[in-house]
């Protein structure tokens, strides 16, 4: 009941935002549900999430495995396998409603405006084709470049942009000759070829070493500034989102638990899960010998999800109501939303 006035305020704000077309979101997802049919059992991976992404913004999608973070984005990109069922109220991408488009139109649109990079660069690159060939293929398709000289020039240009030393040499190399960090850069370069408005990076640094991870993250940030593209960064690491994301959404059990600006999440976290997560990550300056604050229990099984809040069984503040019904939305501040009965 207490939500209503806040909801109204929010609606007004939204209405205002809509008038101002420049700040209208690049991607807006409402009520996204994804389920899988597996061996006669239904597995609910995403259970109604809303997301908004402004142009030029980096959104961090944080969650543990099984939280539905990758599945949600793949649903938007139409990359899910046959046995997945996707339902949504609306998915707006770049002023177009994706749900009303046909499969091919949607694929075309997504290919032009969205690029995706994955965790393991090795499996996303063709092992039998050299880097130059792979870049050329993408450029021919997406940038309508024809002549060899043009393609070569553009490839070199893009490789330089993603910070690859000696690009001429790289063009001749095959993926297995490159290090993990270099491969990820090549993949980012390929993703940039089409000049995407949105880049979805699914755990782009998980397979990399810390020193390389830091470089890739700052590269993403630079590219966002240069190309004015938006980025969705899917990760399980709070440290990764802290360094480059403006907005963060925390997922758990297929639901968004909390979303807000980086400051909201890290300094004014409202949800017990967010707070517990922050405490469980070792910080920079906590004394040695002190115990880590762990979250007891383990994440829920997607096949037997609890009726109430998915985090309730592990939550120290859980009440009877938390086990009974799903929490609704509470707005804490502008853009800071929370799904908790008992924040």
Which residues ranging from 273 to 302 are in contact with other proteins (CB under 8 A)? 276-278, 280-284, 288-296, 298-299, 301-302
Q: Which is nearer to other proteins, 26 or 46 (CB)?
A: 46
Using DSSP's 3-state secondary structure scheme, residue 160 falls into helix
Task: Out of 33, 49, 59, 68, point to the residue binding other proteins (CB under 8 A).
Answer: 68
Q: Does 227 bind other proteins (CB under 8 A)?
A: no
Task: Out of 157, 218, 228, 324, point to the residue binding other proteins (CB under 8 A).
Answer: 218
Total interface residues for other proteins by CB under 8 A: 95
> What is the smallest separation between the CB atom of 89 and other proteins, expressed in angstroms?
22
> What is the smallest separation between the CB atom of 74 and other proteins, expressed in angstroms?
6
Instruction: Copy the structure tokens of residue 253.
Output: 């059990």
Q: Which is nearer to other proteins, 172 or 321 (CB)?
A: 172
Alpha-helical segments (H) within the chain: 3-19, 69-77, 103-113, 121-124, 131-142, 148-161, 167-172, 180-192, 210-227, 238-244, 262-267, 272-280, 320-324
Name the percent of the chain in helix, strand, coil, to the closest 5.
40, 20, 35
Span 14-53, contacts to other proteins by CB under 8 A: 36, 38-41, 43, 45
> What is the smallest separation between the CB atom of 101 and other proteins, expressed in angstroms?
14
- Of 127, 114, 240, 245, the closest CA to residue 183 belongs to 127
Q: Does 84 bind other proteins (CB under 8 A)?
A: yes
Q: Do 196 and 113 form a contact (C-beta atoms < 8 A)?
A: yes
Q: Which is nearer to other proteins, 241 or 322 (CB)?
A: 241
Q: Which is nearer to other proteins, 19 or 39 (CB)?
A: 39
Span 105-124, contacts to other proteins by CB under 8 A: 107-108, 110-111, 115-116, 118-120, 122-124
Q: Which is nearer to other proteins, 203 or 258 (CB)?
A: 203
> What is the smallest separation between the CB atom of 22 and other proteins, expressed in angstroms?
26
* Cross-strand partners of 86: 34
What is the distance between the alpha carbons of residues 86 and 73, in angstroms, rounded to a whole number? Answer: 11
- Of 281, 68, 259, 306, the closest CA to residue 315 belongs to 306
> What is the smallest separation between the CB atom of 196 and other proteins, expressed in angstroms?
9
Instruction: Copy the structure tokens of residue 262.
Output: 């980086």
Task: Out of 8, 97, 228, 303, point to the residue binding other proteins (CB under 8 A).
Answer: 303
Residues 6+ apart with CB under 8 A from 266: 242, 278
Q: Does 13 bind other proteins (CB under 8 A)?
A: no
Residues 6+ apart with CB under 8 A from 126: 134, 175
Span 245-274, contacts to other proteins by CB under 8 A: 262-263, 266
Span 128-167, contacts to other proteins by CB under 8 A: 128, 134, 137-138, 141-142, 163, 165
- Of 254, 251, 253, 277, the closest CA to residue 266 belongs to 277
> What is the smallest separation between the CB atom of 341 and other proteins, expressed in angstroms?
20
Q: Which is nearer to other proteins, 19 or 290 (CB)?
A: 290
DSSP characters over 294-310: PPPS-PPPTTS--SS-T
What is the distance between the alpha carbons of residues 182 and 162, in angstroms, rounded to a whole number? Answer: 10
Q: Which is nearer to other proteins, 51 or 217 (CB)?
A: 217
Span 305-324, contacts to other proteins by CB under 8 A: 314
């Amino acid at each position: 009941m207490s939500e209503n006035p806040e909801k109204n305020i929010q609606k007004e704000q939204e209405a205002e935002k809509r008038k101002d077309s420049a700040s209208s979101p690049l991607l807006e997802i409402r009520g996204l549900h994804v389920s899988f049919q597996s061996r006669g059992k239904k597995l609910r991976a995403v259970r109604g999430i809303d997301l908004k992404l402004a142009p030029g913004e980096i959104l961090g999608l944080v969650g543990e495995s099984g939280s539905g973070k990758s599945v949600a984005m793949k649903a938007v990109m139409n990359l899910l396998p046959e046995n997945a069922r996707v339902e949504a109220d609306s998915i707006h991408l770049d002023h177009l409603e994706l749900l009303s488009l046909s499969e091919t139109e949607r694929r075309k649109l997504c290919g032009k405006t969205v690029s995706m990079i994955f965790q393991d660069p090795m499996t996303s690159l063709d092992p039998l084709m050299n880097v130059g060939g792979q870049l050329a293929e993408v450029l021919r398709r997406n940038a309508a470049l024809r002549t060899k000289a043009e393609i070569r020039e553009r490839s070199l240009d893009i490789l330089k942009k993603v910070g690859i030393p000696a690009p001429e040499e790289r063009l001749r190399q095959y993926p297995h000759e490159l290090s993990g960090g270099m491969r990820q850069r090549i993949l980012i370069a390929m993703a940039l070829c089409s000049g995407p408005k949105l880049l979805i990076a699914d755990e782009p640094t998980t397979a990399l070493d810390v020193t390389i991870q830091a470089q890739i993250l700052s590269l993403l940030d630079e590219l966002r500034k240069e190309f004015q593209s938006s980025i969705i960064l899917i990760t399980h690491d709070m440290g990764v989102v802290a360094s480059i994301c403006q907005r963060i959404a925390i997922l758990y059990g297929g639901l968004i638990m909390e979303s807000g600006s980086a400051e909201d999440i890290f300094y004014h976290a409202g949800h017990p899960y967010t707070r517990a997560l922050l405490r469980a990550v070792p910080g920079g300056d906590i004394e040695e010998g002190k115990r880590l604050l762990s979250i007891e229990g383990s994440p829920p099984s997607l096949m037997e999800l609890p009726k109430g809040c998915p985090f309730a069984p592990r939550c120290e503040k859980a009440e009877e109501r938390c086990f009974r019904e799903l929490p609704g939305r509470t707005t804490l501040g502008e853009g800071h939303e929370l799904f908790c009965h008992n924040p």
